[in-house]
Structure 1
Amino acid sequence: MEHSEIIIGGDTAGIEWRLPVFRFKGSDAKAPSVYIQAALHANELPGTALAHFLLEMLRKAEADGAILGDITVVPQANPIGLAQSHFGEMQGRFELGSRTNFNRDFPLVALAERETLLENLDRRSAADRLKRTLLHAALGADLVIDLHCDDESLQYAYIDDAFWPEAADLAAALDMQAVFLSDGESSAFEEAVGHAFKHQGGDKLKTVPGRLAVTVELRGRRDVYPDMAKADAAGLWQFLAGRGVVSDPAYRAKDYAGPAIPLDNIEMVRAPEPGTVLFHRDIGDTVKAGDLLATLITRPGEPDGTLAVKAGHDGLIATRTSARYARRGEDLMKIACHEATRKDRKPGTLED
């Protein structure tokens, strides 16, 4: 194993950021190569815990000669966000200087243009250098897995249509309860990788066999427990074994039995008015159109001071906010539905 650091110089004198990187050299040149990163949103830590236990497994596998493909693991990919603590809470999702989401505004380049990502880095901001460096590293692999989590959530993933259903093995290995089929039209990290994989020269490819770019949502932000992280690491190990990245005689393939839902079928349940949130339904619940999801206390103490929030479609509650006060228009839930929930959704991500 090679343990190194990526160093990102700060935008003011005397500051630099360091990212640990772990690399394992595979013994089979024909085996797929893998890049795994966690905590690009610095306050999303289930992936960091998973990576910690996965690295234990990989070190043992290396000693046993079981590493077939090259593996790169970046267990804490965003030291800039990790250091942004304000009023007692980490601000790991948005870069405070630019107010930009750390998982947006990645350059969209063709795979053959990979090296251009590192041109004139010294002229760019620290956040931009971080993004370009991570994307450059990822584009050197065949399989790219970006570990995130939601607020309160089931285990699910965003997977571009170009990688589905081949990626069903990852969904099965990690016991995902849903897959959201994305359109690959944003500048998020995973979709920037997918853009490069689909633009290898000539026309855009509709499918990319043997490649993968995926965002895995490892439940919610508070779901950071040793047994859970170990189980997730074992699941990711099973995926690596199935793809021939590691050797494991005990590997047994599993089928994915959950739903694969286009983003057009995701109902974003939002607060129509500001108020205190009283939830009636939880993640994992199956609901019918018209079911009561939450009550908003909009004018406390008044006889007509509440507002009912109901499901617009049948489906599975995949996520829920942990906040118990909602501003007008804020997201309360995502429901994975059996039919399209709207026809005017713009291509790209569901949230900023």
Structure 2
Amino acid sequence: MHTEIERIAADTPGTSYELVVHRYGGGDPDAPAAYLQAGLHGNERPGVAALHYLMPMLATAEAEGRLVGAVTVVPQANPIAAGQHVLADHLGRFSLSTRVNFNRDYPMPDADGAVPLDAAEAPVFAERRLKSRLLELSDGHRIVLDLHCDDEALQYLYVADELWPALSDLSVCLRADAVIRWHATPDAAFEEAVFARMLQQAGPELGQAGYCVSTVELRGQGDVSPYLARQDADGLYRFLVLRGVIEDDVEPLEELAASHRALPIDHVDVLHAPAGGTLLFHVRPGDLVRSGELLAEILVRPGELGGAVALRAPQDGLVLSRRMRRFIRIGDDVLKLFGDNRSAHAKTGALDN
């Protein structure tokens, strides 16, 4: 393993950030290479913990000559977000400098197919230079996994339509409960930017050619433990073995349970708070619910007759995730329901801000 510490100049003199990149050398330059990153949203830690346990497994494979393809690991991909603490509250999703989500507005190919990346010395905000650098680091890898998590959630994946069902092996290896299949959106998340470059290289049959990119949602923000991290590391390792990056004996894929629900993104209903107040959930992630079923109540005027506002299921479906905080404002996201049918409120773009 070779470790590099890259310096990213901050937006004011005298300050900078460190981006740590670990590279594991593969024995076959023609074998599929893999890139894994975590912590793009600074307050999402399950992926960081998973990579903590995966990296020694990669080092052992490298030392024993079983690492066929090269692997690049960036376990804390966003040092800017990692340091955004305001009055002891960690704000890791949006940039405090520009108010932009750290997983939006990545450089996309222009009309001529060129990707306008910002150089390390470009006179732009540090987060833009970081986004360009992460794309550079991921380029040339046939497998790219971006590890995230939700508030309180099941294990689920985002997968481009063109990569499904070719990526069903990743879903099974990671014991995902759901797969959200997406099509082109205007948000330019990291996954979309990587997918666009892969599409240029391999064409619409890129899934059959072994290309892979996915945003992996490793349950919720509070699901950080040695047990879960090891389980996720084992799943990632198994996937890399099955994809020919590592040589090893692992449990055959057909002997693992495939429990995922794989449907288009427009089947997801994102329920918003019709009022502000204290949030009481009547369901949890993983529950199957029926149309009209009570999902949550919002206590607007506690103790008063009619002081609670009910939130009900718009259709039959699976509770995918729910809000972690229990005091909300009107209009806040409350719950994601992965419906059996297309959402009546489906829209183009990302599910979250």
TM range (shorter): over 0.9
Paired letter, 2:199: K
CA-to-partner distance for each residue in 1:205-260, whole Å, 9 max, x for gaps? 36543111110000000111011101100000000000000001234224633110
| Partner in structure 2 of residue 205 of structure 1 | 204
The correspondence of residues 50-69 of structure 1 with structure 2, limited to 5 A, is 50-69=50-69
CA-to-partner distance for each residue in 1:288-314, whole Å, 9 max, x for gaps? 001111111112232111111110110
Asked whether the 8 Å contact 1:276–1:324 carries over to 2, the reply is yes
The correspondence of residues 242-281 of structure 1 with structure 2, limited to 5 A, is 242-254=242-254, 256-281=258-283
Separation in structure 2 between the aligned mates of residue 145 and residue 120 of structure 1, nearest angstrom? 23
Asked whether the 8 Å contact 2:117–2:132 carries over to 1, the reply is yes
| Partner in structure 1 of residue 299 of structure 2 | 297
Asked whether the 8 Å contact 2:119–2:129 carries over to 1, the reply is no
Asked whether the 8 Å contact 2:198–2:206 carries over to 1, the reply is no
Paired letter, 2:14: G
Separation in structure 1 between the aligned mates of residue 175 and residue 47 of structure 2, nearest angstrom? 15
Asked whether the 8 Å contact 2:294–2:312 carries over to 1, the reply is yes
Q: Please state whether the residue corresponding to 1:190 is helix, strand or coil.
A: helix
The correspondence of residues 231-246 of structure 1 with structure 2, limited to 5 A, is 231-246=231-246
| Partner in structure 2 of residue 81 of structure 1 | 81
The correspondence of residues 30-49 of structure 1 with structure 2, limited to 5 A, is 30-49=30-49
TM-score scaled to structure 1, two decimals? 0.95
TM-score scaled to structure 2, two decimals? 0.94
The correspondence of residues 1-352 of structure 1 with structure 2, limited to 5 A, is 1-109=1-109, 113=114, 116-119=116-119, 121-185=121-185, 186-200=187-201, 205=204, 207-208=206-207, 209-254=209-254, 256-342=258-344, 344-346=346-348, 348-352=349-353
Asked whether the 8 Å contact 1:184–1:195 carries over to 2, the reply is no
Query: Is the alpha carbon distance of 1:194 and 1:51 closer, same or farther for their aligned partners in structure 2, counting shifts above 3 Å?
Result: same
How far has the Cα of 1:122 moved from its partner? 2.4
Asked whether the 8 Å contact 1:26–1:71 carries over to 2, the reply is yes
Separation in structure 2 between the aligned mates of residue 249 and residue 200 of structure 1, nearest angstrom? 31
How far has the Cα of 1:267 moved from its partner? 1.1
Paired letter, 2:302: P
How far has the Cα of 1:269 moved from its partner? 1.4
Separation in structure 2 between the aligned mates of residue 119 and residue 21 of structure 1, nearest angstrom? 18
How far has the Cα of 1:12 moved from its partner? 0.7
Separation in structure 1 between the aligned mates of residue 299 and residue 317 of structure 2, nearest angstrom? 25
Asked whether the 8 Å contact 1:241–1:251 carries over to 2, the reply is no
Separation in structure 2 between the aligned mates of residue 17 and residue 140 of structure 1, nearest angstrom? 25
How far has the Cα of 1:120 moved from its partner? 7.2
Separation in structure 2 between the aligned mates of residue 100 and residue 106 of structure 1, nearest angstrom? 11
Of the structure 1 ranges 295-304 and 5-14, higher mean CA displacement relative to structure 2 is found in 295-304
Structure 2, unmatched stretches of 5+, are: none
Query: Is the alpha carbon distance of 1:64 and 1:206 closer, same or farther for their aligned partners in structure 2, counting shifts above 3 Å?
Result: closer
Separation in structure 2 between the aligned mates of residue 4 and residue 99 of structure 1, nearest angstrom? 29
Separation in structure 2 between the aligned mates of residue 322 and residue 119 of structure 1, nearest angstrom? 37
Separation in structure 2 between the aligned mates of residue 242 and residue 200 of structure 1, nearest angstrom? 22
How far has the Cα of 1:124 moved from its partner? 1.8
Structure 1, unmatched stretches of 5+, are: none
Asked whether the 8 Å contact 2:157–2:215 carries over to 1, the reply is yes
Separation in structure 2 between the aligned mates of residue 323 and residue 317 of structure 1, nearest angstrom? 17
Separation in structure 1 between the aligned mates of residue 345 and residue 277 of structure 2, nearest angstrom? 28
Separation in structure 2 between the aligned mates of residue 33 and residue 95 of structure 1, nearest angstrom? 31
